[in-house]
Structure 1
């Protein structure tokens, strides 16, 4: 395993301002932001660049924006939303977003745009998230892995794939590589969840579900449960509609079943010589706290899964690396694709 440092960051997109405003909205916003919905800032940036994407609320309230991609049937009564860009030459690049995130608020938009210049790259919404239909009752994370497999087949994306997983999405793409090894030729783990991080998700689960339940009890269909600043895009509002919050709740509830029996193997070298790039956030407490050190060790554990790996420290990024430094993610994908075209496939 080798390592190197990253380039200076791209500008952030007003996340701190949006976060401070959302924090004032109450305990629900605090919990959701802490658990991953902070990526909504990217949707605000995209809407600022594309005013046509904004939907003004009329007398009836909020209007959900149109899906940017297409809805693909994965079962007789269910569809998932997928959004692809770029050419079809070579392996397709498939993003797996973090817990509670979807295409419009995942923080992946800028990285997807950069990758689209040299590869076919797709983001999608897991069941119950974004524009995808709700998950069946008791839907587990292995079920979500099977959903992705069905989606890619139904969408005509036959593989092979380079999978990119941010946060909890890292566990999901590892599980996908385990379930469908013949389809996966490379992985990029972006400040991904390791087994060391799971207690943090467990600790947040019950309180978050309780707060979502309280909000849903007084919610109206299609109406965001908290207020946001004037001019906030419809995609950001969408993250706080009861329909999406039910999807968030389902993802948290699935964590209760995310035990050792459902995790992909974490043994060193389990991925053989598959090209693997691990990107770790560089921003920590000063000096790094216990949680920071635990996370850093988890990232080193992830890099050890393959004998053909690189660990990158995104020095100017927090957890939302794709939002803080999208070129780092795009460069990692390009490096994996370049390795796949080399005789020895070494990074």
Structure 2
């Protein structure tokens, strides 16, 4: 279970015991670099590093097969690249209001950069906090990283359930909310064994607002993948 940008493993604290009890599965949560108890890594945030960290952590735990990734928001990018590199390891995914490749056209990237610029500039002016340093690191190579991500495809051999929030991360921007929903639909339509589920009434924090829905979709994926 991998939380979104700026969030650590504690994001899942209410779901983990319920999911373990319901499924009997081993549940793994972790803090990506710079989050929670994990060390910061200097320089721009790179998805390749996040994928390498996840790979190393699973290998250390002896987990090399039958993995179902549950990935929220920014962690959808990690899930995409990890699944492409380790199709033999990942048996299914539940992408919870996740960043998906279809969203990141040049036009959308420009819109998102413009929306975040004031916050990033404020963070640059005060690099004393871990949160601000993380924000600056994420913004540093945002444009080339997401242009590359837009060209990445999900492997057809790995099923995916996409949960999209009713309100999306862009409650105040109808145009961006529309693009977010359309990207989720386009992702599902682009390959086999993909399911789209809408968390009606939910904010971007679907695991908080609609925990039963998230748990139910994870349980379905576990049951389907044995």
Alignment TM-score, normalising by the size of structure 2 = 0.84
Question: Whose helix fraction is larger, Structure 1's or Structure 2's?
Answer: 2
CA distance in 2, matches of 1:116, 1:340: 16
Residue in structure 2 matching 1:337, options 201, 222, 225: 222
Unaligned runs of 5+ in 1: 1-94, 220-241, 342-347
CA distance in 2, matches of 1:192, 1:340: 21
Superposed CA RMSD in Å reads 2.5
Residue in structure 2 matching 1:196, options 103, 109, 112: 103
Q: Rg bigger for which structure? A: 1
Residue in structure 2 matching 1:299, options 184, 208, 217: 184
Correspondence 1:213-252 to 2 at 5 A: 213-216=124-127, 219=128, 242-252=129-139
Deviation at 1:153, TM superposition (A): 1.1
Alignment TM-score, normalising by the size of structure 1 = 0.57
Secondary structure of 2:192's aligned partner: coil
Matched, 1:143 2:49: yes
Secondary structure of 2:7's aligned partner: coil
Indicate the residue corresponding to 2:16 in structure 1: 112
Indicate the residue corresponding to 2:6 in structure 1: 100
Deviation at 1:165, TM superposition (A): 1.3
Indicate the residue corresponding to 2:89 in structure 1: 183
Indicate the residue corresponding to 1:86 in structure 2: none
Unaligned runs of 5+ in 2: none
Indicate the residue corresponding to 1:225 in structure 2: none
Indicate the residue corresponding to 1:283 in structure 2: 167
CA distance in 1, matches of 2:68, 2:220: 11
- Counting matched residue pairs gives 217
Residue in structure 2 matching 1:165, options 66, 71, 75: 71
8 Å CA contact 1:178–1:264 kept in 2: the answer is no
